[in-house]
Amino acid sequence: MAFKRDIVLILILAVIVLFQIQTCESDINIADFPHGFTFGTASSAFQYEGAVKADGRGPSVWDTFSHKFGKISDFSNADVAVDQYHRFEEDIELMKDLGVSAYRFSISWTRIFPNGSGEINLAGVDHYNKLIDALLAKGIEPYVTIYHWDLPQALDDKYDGWLGTEIIKDFANYAETCFQKFGDRVKHWITFNEPHTFATQGYDVGLQAPGRCSILLHLFCRKGNSATEPYLVGHNVLLSHAAVADIYRKKYKKIQGGSLGIAFDVMWYEPATNTQNDNDAAQRAQDFQLGWFLDPLMFGDYPSSMRSRVGKRLPKFSEAEAALVKGSLDFVGINHYTTYYARNNDTNVIGTLLNDSIADSGVITLPFKGRKAIGDRANSIWLYIVPQGMRSLMNYIKRKYGNPPVVITENGMDDPNSIFIPIKDALKDEKRIAYLKGYLSELLASIKDGCNVKGYFHWSLLDNWEWAAGYSCRFGMYFVDYNDNLKRYPKQSVQWFKNFLKSTK
C-alpha cells in the first residue's frame, strides 16, 4: 500500500515538474500584452540599403567618415551593407514569415535630396513608395524614421550641418517632402534617431560621423569643440523637430491621421552604492542622457542639473521656441539595450582633462562594481544583459514625464562575427533567445505596473553594418552570409519569435 502511495506521489511530482518546465518554456505570452500592441523589427537606411551611388543618391557624412582610414574597426564601409535597396521584397517575405506587424526603417535624406536641399530626386521617392506599398501589401505597418544619422555631406560642407541654424529650414523642408510623398500611407513618423548619440559621438568624442572633437588638443580630431558643439547640435535638433511637428500638425495631421515621435537612446543607471551622492549621480546621468532632450519636449527647458553644470555653454530657448518645443511629441521612442552603474565623480580629474559634455555630468558610468559585471556581456564591449533595467526605465518615464505613450523602437543584442565560427553554429543564438525572454518579460511587467507602452521593435531583422564596428558584430535574427551573395539564414531566435508571436494562453 505504501509502495503504491509512493508511486502516486512520484507521478504527481513528475506532472508538477513537467508543468513547471512547460511554464518556464512559455513563461512569456503575446496574449498577455495589451490588445493592439505592436511587434516589429527595426533597421536604418545606411546600415541596410547599400547601393550608395544608385539612382541619384548623394553622399552623406557617413559615406565620407567610413572611407577614412582607421575610423571603422574592421576597415569596412557600407557601400553594399546588406543590399536591402535591391532585396527589400525578399526581406519583407522574411518579416511576413516571422509574423511581425510593423517594420521600422529610415529614409535616406540624400536619396530624396542628393545635396540636402534643392531639386527632389524622384528616383529616391519612387524607391520608398515601392517599399512602403510592398510592406502594406503584406499587412506590415511602416514606422518611418526621417533622420537616422546620414546627414547630407553637402550640408556639412555648406554650414557644418547640425551646428548651423540653417539646418532647421532644410530639415523641415526634407521632412515635409516626406509627408507629402508618403504620408497618405505612413501613420507613424520618427523625426530623429538617437540625437544624444550623434551629438556626443559625432561632435564630442569624434568616434562617429562627422568626427568632430577637441579632445587632447585635436590629436584625435582635426576640428571641433567638445565643450560647446554637442549642446549646439542638440539644440538645433530640438528646434528642427519642433518646426517639423508644427508643420505636420497644421498641414497634414488632420488629413493623414499620423503621429510624430523621436527615438531616444537610453541606458538605465543604477546607483553604484546606496549613498546620496551616487543616487544623485544616477539622476544626473539620466538628465544628461534622456533629460537633455525629453525635458525640453515635455517641460519646455533643459534639466536644472544641466543648466547649473554647463552654464553659458548650454543654449537657451526663447519664449516662442520653448512654446514650440514643449508638447511637440505624440509618443516617446526608446532605444534600450543595457544598464550601467552610476558613481559620483568626486575628483573630476576626467572632467578637467576632457572638458566635454560627458564630463559635465560629474558621473562615472561603468558596467562593473569592483570586478563584478552588472550582467552577462553580449559581443559588444558596451552591451551587458540586464533585463530588469527595462522595467525600471519604463517606470521612471511614467513617474517623471506623466506616463506618455512609449514605443520601444530598438532592443537587442549582438553575437561576434568570426571566420572561425561555422554558419551552423552561428545560427544557434540561445543567448539572444534568453535576452528576448528576459527583456520582454520585464517590459510586460512594466505594462502591468501601469506604464503606457504601445509597441516593441527588435534590433534587428538582419545582421547588418554596425557603424564604427563595421561587420564585426551580428545583431540580426537572420544570419547574413557576407561571403556568399549576402544569403539570409534564420537563426534559432527566428523560430522562438515566430512561436511567441503565434502564442495564445
Q: Which residues are catalytic?
A: 194, 410
Residue 268: count other Cβ atoms within 10 Å of its Cβ: 24
> How many whole angstroms separate alpha carbon 426 and alpha carbon 404?
39
For the chain, the C-alpha Rg in angstroms (whole number) is: 23
Give residues with Cβ within 8 angstroms of 417, minimum separation 6. Answer: 463, 471, 472, 473, 474
Measured between alpha carbons, how far is residue 180 from residues 177, 209, 239, 256, 417 in Å? Answer: 5, 29, 21, 10, 41
Joined grid coordinates for residue 194: 538617437
DSSP states of 454-472: EEEEES-SB----GGGTTS
- What ranges in 67-142 are assigned the alpha helix state H? 84-98, 109-112, 122-137
Locate cell 553575437: which residue?
415
Q: Which of 97, 4, 43, 30 is nearest to 437 (CA)?
A: 30
Measured between alpha carbons, how far is residue 314 from residues 212, 281, 305, 451, 481 in Å? Answer: 18, 20, 11, 32, 46
Q: For 214-234, b where at least 16 C-beta lie within 10 A, e where not — what string?
A: bbeeeeebeebbbbbbbbbbb
> How many whole angstroms separate alpha carbon 417 and alpha carbon 421?
8
Phi, psi of 418 (to 5 degrees): -140, 140
Locate cell 514569415: which residue?
97
Measured between alpha carbons, how far is residue 1 from residues 7, 8, 12 in Å? Answer: 10, 11, 17
* Contact predicate 405/331, CB 8 Å: yes
- What ranges in 402-469 are assigned the alpha helix state H? 423-426, 430-448
Q: Say whether 185 sits in a helix, a strand or coil.
A: coil
Q: Which of 258, 341, 355, 345 is nearest to 311 (CA)?
A: 355
> How many whole angstroms separate alpha carbon 213 and alpha carbon 204?
5
Q: Say whether 53 sits in a helix, a strand or coil.
A: coil
Locate cell 505596473: which residue?
449
By CB atoms closer than 10 A (0-12, 13-18, 19+), residue 436 is buried
Locate cell 513547471: which residue?
20
